């Protein structure tokens, strides 16, 4: 296994594009490089058509959490929106960076609910640290990142962004339940190969992945990371990429986000 970090996964994607199409090089990555990046970057070193999706593996939603800066009687998204409208100068949310789905989800919440929601981009754990210290009012982050702190009572989760409630936080409503059905933000992880890879090779890889996902070791490992096993057919995977790309394109346009170079 070789790690190609950097540029939000674009470096790894560019390496896959030029790899031999014999199944020896497989990319494991979140779908954002084919569903979001085409709409948040002016230029990319690859096209979506350069890849063949093999299999999804797992998914997880995001969570909107608040810290000590927000009064304890703020218990719902509706309460939080009311508080934000009354405190526009400190109605902040931290995320892992500009142009991420987290950033855009917050921007859409502010736009949809008609309040000023101020974005504060971070790197690493800095958003969590500032949320705990009361430097920012809220944060939108992967649910697994916030789960331990929510369970300990250090922060409060007001909503998750999946299509249904998470089995890890069953008492926390979804954004849709809170009245914001458009604010779905699920990170999917999947395997990809170069587009020129023979169909029989892709099918062989898919079968091997499906078999591994059935093992207790994989299931246990995913659960420890607060990640749901989520595998769909190859045909459905392609449809998912197309629908997610169209959805994020509309969100990027609606928020007025300017694509980076």
What is d(CA 18, CA 105) in angstroms, rounded to the nearest whole number? 33
pLDDT, tens digit, for every residue of 90-141? Answer: 999 999 999 999 999 999 999 999 999 999 999 878 999 999 999 999 999 9
Q: pLDDT-based confidence at 4, cuts 50/70/90?
A: low
Paired tokens of 64: 């909107």
Q: Please count the CA atoms within 13 angstroms of the CA of 45 that sit on its side-chain side.
A: 12
Asked if residue 163 belongs to a domain, the reply is no
- Helices of type H across 70-198: 77-86, 101-113, 126-133, 143-152
Structural domains counted in the chain: 1
Closest Cα to residue 67, out of 147, 153, 131, 1? 131
What is d(CA 185, CA 162) in angstroms, rounded to the nearest whole number? 6
Closest Cα to residue 119, out of 135, 134, 98, 101? 98
Asked if residue 184 belongs to a domain, the reply is no
pLDDT, tens digit, for every residue of 29-44? Answer: 999 999 999 999 998 9
End-to-end CA distance of the chain: 30
Q: Is the pLDDT of residue 3 over 90?
A: no
Residue 123: how many CB atoms within 10 A of its CB? 8
3-state secondary structure of 213: helix
Please give the residue that has the higher pLDDT: either 9 or 251.
Answer: 251
Asked if residue 100 belongs to a domain, the reply is yes
Asked if residue 68 belongs to a domain, the reply is yes
Which residues are CB-contacts of 41 (< 8 A; sequence separation ≥ 6)?
A: 10, 259, 260, 261
Asked if residue 69 belongs to a domain, the reply is yes
Closest Cα to residue 248, out of 111, 100, 46, 63? 100
pLDDT, tens digit, for every residue of 171-225? Answer: 999 999 999 998 999 999 999 999 999 999 999 999 999 988 888 888 888 888 8
Asked if residue 187 belongs to a domain, the reply is no
- Residue 105 belongs to what domain range? 62-157
pLDDT value at position 227? Answer: 82
pLDDT > 70 fraction of the chain, expressed in percent and rounded: 96
Q: Report pTM.
A: 0.90
* Strand 138-142 relative to strand 92-95, pairing: parallel
Asked if residue 162 belongs to a domain, the reply is no
What is d(CA 92, CA 239) in angstroms, rounded to the nearest whole number? 35
3-state helix, strand, coil in the chain (%, to 5): 45, 20, 35
Closest Cα to residue 185, out of 64, 97, 40, 54? 64
Q: How far is CA 15 from the centre of its chain?
A: 23
Angstrom CA distances, 207 to 5, 20, 50, stand at 27, 20, 22
Q: What is the CATH number of the domain that holds 150?
A: 3.40.190.10
Residue 64's beta-bridge partner residues?
140, 159
Asked if residue 153 belongs to a domain, the reply is yes
């Amino acid at each position: 296994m070789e790690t190609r970090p950097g540029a939000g996964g674009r470096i790894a994607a560019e390496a896959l594009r030029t790899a031999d199409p014999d199944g020896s090089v497989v990319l494991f990555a979140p779908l954002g490089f084919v569903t979001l990046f085409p709409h948040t970057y002016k230029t990319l070193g690859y096209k979506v058509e350069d890849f063949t999706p093999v299999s999804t593996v797992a998914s997880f939603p995001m969570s909107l959490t608040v810290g000590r800066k927000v009064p304890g009687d703020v218990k719902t998204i509706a309460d939080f929106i009311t508080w934000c409208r009354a405190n526009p100068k400190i109605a902040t949310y931290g995320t892992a960076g500009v142009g991420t789905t987290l950033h855009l989800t917050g921007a859409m919440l502010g736009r949809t609910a008609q309040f000023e929601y101020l974005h504060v981009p971070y790197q690493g754990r800095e958003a969590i640290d500032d949320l705990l210290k009361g430097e920012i009012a809220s944060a939108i982050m992967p649910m697994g990142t916030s789960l331990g702190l929510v369970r300990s009572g250090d922060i409060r989760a007001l909503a998750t962004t999946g299509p249904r409630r998470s089995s890890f936080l069953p008492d926390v409503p979804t954004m849709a339940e809170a009245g914001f059905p458009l604010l779905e933000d699920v990170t999917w992880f999947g395997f990809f190969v170069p587009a020129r890879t023979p169909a029989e090779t892709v099918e062989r890889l898919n079968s091997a992945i499906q078999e591994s996902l059935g093992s207790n070791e994989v299931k246990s490992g995913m659960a420890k990371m607060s990640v749901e096993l989520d595998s769909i057919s190859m045909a459905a995977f392609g449809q998912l990429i197309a629908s997610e790309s169209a959805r994020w394109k509309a969100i990027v346009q609606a928020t007025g986000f300017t694509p980076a170079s």
